[in-house]
Amino acid sequence: MRANTVVSSTGTHSIDKPARLRGTTISEDLTWHNLETPYVILENTYVSKNSSTASTLTIEEGTEIRFGQNIELQVGLNFSKGNLLAQGSTEEPIVFTGLQQNLWVDFHCDRDRRQRSVNNESSHLFL
């Protein structure tokens, strides 16, 4: 499924395999819910809307995101704005990791300091 696919937070989800996400640009506010199975990102993914309005990716506590080799999550792209809200907890941290150890790139917020990604919040993350 595309990384910008909306997954309902109501009802019962029974997912026994990782949620594989294809790369895309997340241009509307979106939440990645804790589905009790990891999200696997296999292509570069961007959080950005336009030069005046940001899109926001919210990641729920306890969520695990695994990246393929040389894959990145970039918040804010060129002159477009984006935000990341990732608030884990001591009991349920948010985990960013690779499919294999040391094989993912990283994630960037405002990579070249153009003030595109300034309202980010994070706590209890494991990278």
| pLDDT tens track for 13-54 | 445 577 888 888 899 999 999 988 899 988 889 888 888 888
Length of the chain: 127
CB 35 within 8 A of CB 15: yes
- Give the percent of the chain with pLDDT over 70: 67
Number of domains in the chain: 1
Asked if residue 8 belongs to a domain, the reply is no
Q: Comparing C-alpha atoms, which of 83, 93, 74, 100 is closest to residue 28?
A: 83
Q: Would 53 be classed as within a structural domain? A: yes
Q: Which domain holds residue 103?
A: 19-126
Residue 106 lies in a domain: yes
Residue 92 belongs to some domain of the structure:
yes
The answer to whether position 116 is within a domain reads yes
Establish how many alpha carbons lie within 13 A of residue 3's alpha carbon, considering only the half-sphere containing its beta carbon: 26
Evaluate whether residue 2 is within a structural domain: no
Q: Is position 4 within any domain?
A: no
